[in-house]
Structure 1
């Protein structure tokens, strides 16, 4: 059972009475009913001033800044490549879209190199072996990476593999 309630901004939202958990015999009762759920926060100010994510930056061997927002489906990070830096080959079950903010370089996807520069966007398909290189010996490169990793993590199927290491 649900009822409509107006939010302070005048938007109607559906409020559901508590539901029992579904089992496989209830598949016909799982009709989607969107509900607005107020997130804990909707802004992360000064992302890079929060500092690099130590574990990820160490594992990936380049600076990584996480955008800390409560999305359950999409993540965003700011990645940096130091002058001349080449990342390890790796792959993951989630898709990635990179938007290059500054610098120039290339991304190798399944053996094919794609050159990029500031203003370009690069798509990395799921489970494709890939790596990135900054082509400048003096200037860093920076990109924003958007991924559907949280969605797959919530489903229990997000995997990441570094070349030469077992899953």
Structure 2
């Protein structure tokens, strides 16, 4: 009985799932291999629904973009009129792009005012919180983070002031 040949696609999947230790350094290859992801588009993100647990914890609506990236995440966040979030910090970096509204983000002891079209950088492990300055209109932003990369390395941490301290 002969063993069936392994297809290149099967070999790629095996390589992707293989775990290496420091003794295997010589077995890693510097040639990237394309592995077809499960999907390339997430349609109608907001219509797909709010991430209830995260939104409740954050005290504002959050919509996760469900794409198979292993290095960056993208979420759509919102602040209700007049809303202030809890202070929190995390080991991953965040870049916010403001889609709608005016507000501020406090990073450590510095308050950064923002409005539609601005981008705000939040460094890793910096205490921060956000506020919508309008009492009548919501604010909306896109957040891009390197959280999946750090989660895959086992070093992603997040701390909520008053809960985790």
Gaps of 5+ in 1: 6-12
Deviations 1:66-118 (A, max 9, x none): 11001011100000000000000000000000000000000000110000000
Deviation at residue 33 of structure 1 after TM alignment = 1.6
Q: Larger helix proportion, structure 1 or 2? A: 2
Match of 1:101 in 2: 99
Following the alignment from structure 1 to structure 2, what is the Cα–Cα distance between the partners of residues 160 and 110? 15
From 23, 26, 34, the equivalent of 1:25 is 23
The structure in which a higher percent of residues are strand is 1
State the partner residue of 1:154: 152
In structure 2, distance between residues paired with 1:93 and 1:111: 18
Q: TM-score, normalised by structure 2?
A: 0.87
Aligned residues: 155
Where does the alignment leave 5 or more consecutive residues of structure 2 unmatched?
A: 1-7
- 4+ aligned runs moved over 6 Å, structure 1: none
1:30 CA displacement:
2.6
